[in-house]
Structures are given as C-alpha cells and as structure tokens.
Amino acid sequence: MMRDATARPDPSSEGGRCLRFSVQPQAARLAEIRRFVEEVGGEFGLDAGRVFDLKVAVSEACANAVEHSGSAHAPLELCAWFHPDRLVFEIADSGDFRVPQAERGSRADSRGLGLPLMVALMDEVRIRKTPGGGTNVTLSLFTKG
Amino acid sequence: MQLASSQLAQVPLIVIDGECDHGSAEALRAAVEEALSADPLAILLDLENCTYIDSGGISVLLGAVRRLRGRGWLGVLAPNDNVRRLLEIVGLTAGAGFRVFDHRDDASRALEELRG
C-alpha cells in the first residue's frame, strides 16, 4: 500500500522543522522516549499537562510497536515535526499495528487501552501502513486559539 | 519506578515512586499479586509520588479491581492531576470497585465503613 501524498500529506512534505530520535523497540527504552518527548514538548512551549498527555500517547504508540515487533532489531523511528499551528509526532516501525480484539492472555487488561488513550489525549491520530510492511502512527496536538 | 509494600488499617499499601509504564508494570503486577494473596478486603496504592502511568500500569489497576470485586475496592491515594485525569479517561474512577483518596485518613475511614 502506497502512501497517498495527495489525500494525506506526509508530515515531512509540509516543510516543518523536525527532531529525530531512533531507539530499539524494547519496553525498557520507553523512559528514554519520554525524556525525548519532554524535550520536544518544552521546546514547542506545551504546558506540563499537555506534555504528560503527549508522553502517554507516544508511549502507547511505541509500546504497541514494541509488543508486535517481529523484528526486534529494527529501531523505532520517532520524528517530532514543529509547525506553527501544531506539533506532530510520527512513530514508524516495521511491524503491523496490534489489533486489540485479536489479543488473548493473562495480560488482557491492557489490550485495547492504548488506542483509545491516544485518541482521547491527542487532537488527531492517524495510523497508516507503510510500503515496507511497517506501521506509521502520527499524533498531533494543535495550538489553541 | 520504586515500590514499597506495607500496611494501612490492616490492608496492603503499596507506595509507587516514579514512572509506571510498560517496562515497569510487571514489578507492580507482582507486588499486587503478593498483596492479593492474603485475600484482603481492599488494596491501597499510594500514587502521591507516581509521576507517570500509562496502560501498562493501568492494566494492573484494572486487574486488581476485578480481583477485589464483591469483596471491597482498590483505593489510590493522592494521584497528581495528570494521573487522575488518565484514571478518569479509562473509566476507572466511575466504577464502584475503585476509590480515590486525597489523604490516608480518608482511606482509613473508608476502610472502617467497609468493615461495617
């Protein structure tokens, strides 16, 4: 499946400045990802509450990637795009997005919570398949007013 | 994340210090399992110094609520505004098996009521 750059522009095509962070898809690395989000959020001028929301949403997207990552050696690629009217976090991995309903097992309590949390906390959430067989999640926060 | 287990008003109290995420939730899960093993009426989690939680940690809370159903509740102490908002979003705070307390005294009083 090709990206449709006309209908859904890639954040990178819009000319914004971006900060990148590349990390192995492991649960133990989630704290590092949150430190990156804090830096980005601070630089963008988000208040502490919005930074918290962004940390949770990015963590959920990354945790999803960690859980379904069949290729544990391929890093997670994070990009934070700075636009005048919004901050866009892009999380790209090389696996399929986890389908909550298909999950079973003793840890079923957390299954399916990640996506609703992302949607509740962010202004916009997009999930796309990428040509290489991975998943690309973009989380956007719009500036108010 | 650091955990410390003790008791308050004869029920297990687990103090969570730091960030509870998908990487650290297993430690919390183990501590909660340990607390549940004595069949307590309730379990208390002190979140005053819990600076972050996501669905990794929230899943442990949901599991504890389910396990305590019919007996009592899971109580959390002094969550910060961000953590509290998250617990509201996932619907935990609306459930009968979940209580939020600002102070330990409030939790102690609620436990007295629970025991009748």
Domains within chain B, CATH numbers bracketed: 2-115 (3.30.750.24)
Whether the predicted pLDDT of B52 surpasses 50:
yes
Q: How confident is the model at residue A95 (pLDDT cuts 50, 70, 90)?
A: confident
Distance, in angstroms, between B23 CA and closest chain A CA?
5
Residue A113 with chain B: CB contacts under 8 Å: 55, 58-59, 90
Q: What is the ipTM of this complex?
A: 0.93
Q: Which residue has the higher pLDDT, A3 or B45?
A: B45
Question: What total of structural domains would you count in chain A?
Answer: 1
Question: How many helices (H) and strands (E) in chain A?
Answer: 3, 5
Distances (CA, A) of A20 to A44, A71, A88, B48, B66: 14, 21, 12, 33, 41
Whichever domain contains A121, its CATH number is 3.30.565.10
Inside any domain, residue A2? no
Cβ within 8 Å, pair A107-B59: yes
Q: What is the mean pLDDT of residues A120-144?
A: 92
pLDDT in tens, B54-86: 999 999 999 999 999 999 999 999 999 999 999
Closest-CA residue of chain A to B52? A52
Mean pLDDT over each residue of chain A, to the nearest integer: 82
Q: Which domain holds residue A71?
A: 18-142
Q: Which residues contact B77 (CB under 8 A, 6 or more apart)?
A: B44, B45, B46, B47, B48, B101, B102, B103, B104, B107
- Chain A residues near residue B82 by CB distance under 8 angstroms: 48-49, 52-53
Write the Ramachandran bin of B9: left for phi over 0, alpha for psi from -120 to 50, otherwise beta: left
